[in-house]
Every structure is written in structure tokens, then in C-alpha cells.
Amino acid sequence: MTVAGERSRYVGVDLTNGHVTDAVIESVEQDNPSAKITRFPGYAKVEAIEKLVINRETVEEALGEEWNTEDLQLIVTSYYGFIGEWDDDQIIIQWDNV
């Protein structure tokens, strides 16, 4: 499908500040070459072009302890894009019709 976009389309999540968010951000920067992090009071906007991947293993490495992907619910306040996958190992947010 073709979409007439003048520029790259980001997807993203808004995460409330805290140590888990710091670990998720670290993992996102590692696993997504186009990652863009913007800090706002109280939260961070974490974006990537067209597809954003959060890997459990990378988050656990950054966090230094076990982490369930479903616990992203505790820190995510908003997102844009579609949830392409959410299983035990990975969360993918993407635009489907790009």
C-alpha cells in the first residue's frame, strides 16, 4: 500500500519517569537504530521510525532483574502506531500500512 507521506512517520510510546522507564529507554536505544528520546516533565517520549521494538531480554539486562513484558502497562501512558506484537519476549509497535 502506498501512503503519500512527505517525511518519515514515527511510532512511539510515552513512558512515565522511573527506573524501569530508564531501562526500557536503554533497551530501545540499543535495539532501534532510529530511536529518538524526548524528555518532558514527568515523562519521556520514546519514538522510532515506522517500527519500535522492546525486547524483554535487553530490558532485563539494563534493569538487572527479571521483567515481564506485561508490566510495561505500569509505565506506558500513551502510544501511537498499532501494537503489532505483545508476547512474553517482545513488544512491537508499528504502522501496518506503510
Q: Which residues bind another protein (CB under 8 A)?
A: 1, 3-5, 9-14, 16, 40-43, 57, 60, 66, 69-71, 73-88, 95-98
Residue whose CB is less far from another protein, 29 or 50: 50
Q: Which residue has the cell 527479571?
A: 66
Nearest approach, Cβ of residue 36 and another protein (Å): 13
Where do we find the cell 536503554?
Answer: 26
Q: Pick the closer one to another protein by CB: 25 or 81.
A: 81
Smallest distance from the beta carbon of 29 to another protein, in angstroms? 21
Q: Which parts of 1-98 fold into alpha helices (H)?
A: 19-31, 56-63
- Chain mean position to CA 65: 19
Between 29 and 61, whose beta carbon lies closer to another protein? 61
State the residue for C-alpha cell 518532558.
40
Q: Collapsing DSSP states into helix, strand and coil, what is residue 28? A: helix
